[in-house]
Structure 1
């Protein structure tokens, strides 16, 4: 492997481990970056033939992270929760002039990357692409496909649906932070705060008819970067009581914000399974994207597949490989559709897309 290494920050977690596997399958050299040498060594032991580099960072700050990223061809960050651990990695990558992508799902972090890091990334000549996983690549790329030929948009509705629920420790910790933060949607050209589940939407997700509730997704921040659109609403439909469309949605954020409760919840989510089981990963998932043009025309597409974590790893590994090989020309803080071809990339990562009847 003569190419320069791709750094994986946070390779000891569930998603980070999958990204390492996906990069090595592509024949890429990998540099493992994290806080614990023992845990990095454990990951490296599973890949002795690949001989990955180990780079422990004891002081989690921009300067130290930049030092270990120097010389890398790209960096993938899976070190969450991103609102706590993500900023020094972005700043370090920009300082080291290394293209960057991550698996973030937290809306406040994505907004920070777009609004506060764009100029620095452009000056450094690198692309910085947050939230390049199952949340929220299908929604962003699905909208880019659906809009073809329609012109300026009045509205985009995105619905994520899963057949079975399974999460990693990192996802659960990030989700707690997301539920405590304001839920932003784009309405009439402005970001407005709405309660979780304030809106409901019913769609045919292919495997079932799903009722989803509004959720603080990334599309309200991403789509205006490459589409002319007034309103963007993201919804999530989950089976059982976990869905934002359920009765608990209006009260859960307030409960999670009760004084003294956060440390207890953080401990509890860390005690569960490290990642989803085989049944959850094999379950079907879908992203229904419907766009409405200013002249009233509507179009919808359904992005379908399985295993959101596997998709996230494949998407990050594919983008990082393209970055490392100089196949991404964009600079600055970018949405997914600004760095890849929508249809081709979904196909390359194992997901399908088809036009469907709008839900209305």
Structure 2
């Protein structure tokens, strides 16, 4: 049976993946933890009640995983920022013929993987699936569900992501304000990645673009989308995602894909205007380094999520004239619970063997749409 290799077991999300794997150990086969400190890894495994091997390695070093990975292994990584620390890990998985799943929410890293590792993964038989968590499984699933409802006239998909604070007694939902989003609703890693993403170029899918993936470069927050959610019309800033790659794989008639982040409420239009004014800075290396330094020194940098949160991903399908044909939504638990469950269940699924594609793919192609729908339901994602 293929082994499951976990990177990031001592981090916030990685420790949750480890706990989930520990609960499924009888079904998951051999589990190996890899990181810089074997002592910390062993302590984390004991905390989770897991019996497993540990390997000490600096995974940012080129080739460090080559001596560890075998063909068919399932590699799960939550170690970010992925644009800084993830490339050598992904390269090793592609060379080894492994299955690779990660928790990235960084569009530049997703694009880099599709553009640079597809050929190597096809050659070795590897399957690489970036963003196999809250980013970007719910949006891929909601987009596919909307397209299925709309039928063959579907030409465009728009996806929106929301997070809600909710009352555990009444179930009432509200949108956290910006201060809560940058402190009690998200993890330090999420906040750091978000600041970096806002300061980097992004992309959108346009089938007519002169690009082999059909992408057009644009700024993060280049456009505003609007969705009705939780009883109110809400603005979202456009961002990159794996939906731009994953939805056209299974829906070849698509002409455009847009993804919006609805975390900012009434601040979204101001962020949109700010990025329009600061657009030239997003290609300036000095400004991007400054954004990276800011991300590393944010307020509340040690604050972990402490309020009840749920998530929703909404999608709508449009025809060529722009008319809305159908809408679909998926609702689920907080991003970190969802991500850990998706990664652990996904790893166990691929460790079971069976047919799978090779190359770099979105989650719909990796699991098939119905397979993804089933796995998502097991993780608490429900359609509404």
> Normalising TM by the smaller chain, what interval?
0.7 to 0.9
Check 1:170–1:235 CA distance in 2 against 1; reply closer, same or farther (3 A cut).
same
1:329 aligns to 2:356 (yes or no): yes
Aligned-residue offset at 1:109? 1.2
The answer to whether residue 43 in structure 2 is matched with residue 42 in structure 1 is yes
8 A Cα contact 1:145 1:343, kept in partner: no
Q: Deviations over 1:186-210 (max 9, x none)?
A: 2353222333323222222246542
- TM-score (normalised: structure 2): 0.82
How many correspondences in the alignment? 348
Specify every segment of 5 or more residues in structure 2 that has no aligned partner in the other structure, as ranges. Answer: 165-175, 210-214
Cα deviation per residue 1:281-317 (whole Å; 9 max; x = unaligned)? x223111101123475611101112201111111111
- RMSD, aligned CA: 2.7
TM-score by length of 1: 0.87
Shift of 1:267: 3.4
Q: Distance in 1 between matches of 2:288 and 2:156?
A: 38
Tell me which moved more, 33-42 or 308-317.
33-42
CA, structure 1 residues 150+348, in 2 after alignment: closer, same or farther (shift >3 Å)?
same
Q: Do 1:103 and 1:132's aligned partners in 2 also have CA atoms closer than 8 Å?
A: yes
Superposed CA deviations along residues 135-179 of structure 1, whole A, max 9, x for unmatched, are: 111111112222226226321111101114322222223223322
* Structure 1 residue 55, shift from structure 2 partner: 1.1
2:312 alignment partner, one of 281, 286, 289: 286
TM-superposed CA distance for 1:339, in Å, is: 2.1
Deviations 1:67-120 (A, max 9, x none): 122377311111111111111111111222221111111112111211221121
CA distance 1:267–1:216, shift in 2 (3 Å)? same
Distance 1:70 1:120, change over 3 A: same
Tell me if structure 2 keeps the 8 A contact 1:214–1:244.
no
Alignment of 1:1-360 (within 5 A): 3-27=1-25, 28=28, 29-47=30-48, 49-58=49-58, 60-70=60-70, 73-148=73-148, 150-151=151-152, 153-163=154-164, 164=176, 165=181, 166-190=185-209, 191-206=215-230, 208-228=232-252, 229-239=254-264, 243=268, 246=271, 248-250=274-276, 254=281, 258=287, 261-262=290-291, 264-269=293-298, 272-273=301-302, 275-277=304-306, 279=307, 282-294=308-320, 298-327=325-354, 329-340=356-367, 341=370, 342-354=372-384
Q: Is the 8 A contact 1:343 1:353 kept in 2?
A: no
- Relative to structure 1, the CA distance from residue 241 to residue 268 in structure 2 (aligned partners, 3 Å threshold; closer, same or farther) is farther
Structure 1: segments with no counterpart, 5+ residues = 355-360
Q: Cα deviation per residue 1:207-226 (whole Å; 9 max; x = unaligned)?
A: 65422121223322322222
